[in-house]
Structure 1
């Protein structure tokens, strides 16, 4: 009887330890995404502290929602791989349907998020939040293309910006830095193909750009 009680006590203590450990991990994660969100919102020059906190809370919640979504998505994909192991055609079909369904959920999360931000912030501030969540890749890349090819016309600049804006909307919903940059990489490929079709030799343009940068650096 005593042994049975000791076993039950040990199990109870183990469960409590696991719950405490999980809670600790959760608290650490929330601290990380709160600090990340704070850095983004701090760039917006929001004077009202209540609005600042509300906007930060919206960004924190989105990071949390995205993390939960992608974790659950991976679990579902793994379950499919286990269930249809050795059945490539069936697995591809099931996974394709699952990915489409999960993408729809992600798009809904994205739309709701932008709506909540827009109720608190100006359009310009929302743009800055988007850039903050994607490491400022859009403005940096847009500026780089204009530096590399100074004679881009208005229509070409607009096309590049359209591609980068679409990439940013998708990258915002990705689970991590690597995935976000992969999205931009895909769209940079499209931009390069477009510019090539417009008659630009990107290899040559890149070479001339490097020469201009070297000359500028030498003058300092």
Structure 2
């Protein structure tokens, strides 16, 4: 019993140390950002926070700051990566060495983003309940999860409960990756990847996805929306 409690204490201490380390490592203040970019992010985040209907002004500002900081940190990580890649491209490396150096740079970027993710989510969880955290994630990813889930269930009304549950699970997973995307293109790319997985899953269940989508569009599906 004591051993289990000691492990729990160590886990809590380790998590706290991780949060502090990551916070210090990725801290990027508004002063370091382009004023025009800061304004865009402030407006974008305000729209994400508004649906939470927080009545405590101080708490609302804390949530606003946490989400803004995530955007600033991701922007800095992306900018640092691009700077490193530009330096590699301008260097005297052979094509093979250049390719390896760029791959290593991207790998370091992925590691930084991976370290940043749990810190951001932990901060949200400290301030918001489960549903509110999900709302923030939806806002950061343009509500693509709910739009995509509705598209599948509208197009395929005979989906089983098990299939619907699996589709939702994969879309939630896609959203978790997408909140780390530094651009809308990156965010949508994650959902595109998981839509491919969903389509393969449904095809193996005997559903002709191409025929289903054609029929769905004839019935008046959202214009320009593609499942595949």
Q: TM-score range by the shorter chain?
A: 0.7 to 0.9
Contact 2:78 2:109 in 1 (8 A): no
Q: 1:188 offset after TM fit, Å?
A: 1.4
Unpaired segments ≥5 residues, structure 2: 1-30, 222-228
Moved more, 165-174 or 92-101: 92-101
Q: 1:193 offset after TM fit, Å?
A: 1.6
In the TM superposition, what are the counterparts of 1:171-186 in structure 2 within 5 Å?
Answer: 171-186=178-193
Q: 1:24 offset after TM fit, Å?
A: 11
Q: Does 1:167 align with 2:171?
A: no
Which residue among 196, 199, 216 is the counterpart of 1:209?
216
Aligned to 1:55: 63
In the TM superposition, what are the counterparts of 1:86-101 in structure 2 within 5 Å?
Answer: 87-101=94-108
Contact 2:170 2:198 in 1 (8 A): yes
* Alpha-carbon distance change, 79 to 123 in structure 1, aligned in 2, over 3 angstroms: same
* Alpha-carbon distance change, 121 to 24 in structure 1, aligned in 2, over 3 angstroms: closer
Q: 1:131 offset after TM fit, Å?
A: 0.6
RMSD over aligned CA atoms reads: 1.9
Aligned to 1:42: 50
Task: Provide the secondary structure at the position in 2 that maps to 1:213.
Answer: coil
Aligned to 1:77: 85
Contact 2:33 2:72 in 1 (8 A): no
Query: In the TM superposition, what whole-angstrom CA distance separates every residue of 1:130-168 from its partner, at most 9, and x where no partner exists?
Result: 010110001100111011111111221122122212221
Q: 1:84 offset after TM fit, Å?
A: 5.4
Aligned to 2:122: 115
Number of residue pairs aligned between Structure 1 and Structure 2: 191
Runs of 4+ aligned structure 1 residues displaced above 6 Å come to none
Q: Does 1:147 align with 2:148?
A: no
Aligned to 1:68: 76
Aligned to 1:29: 37
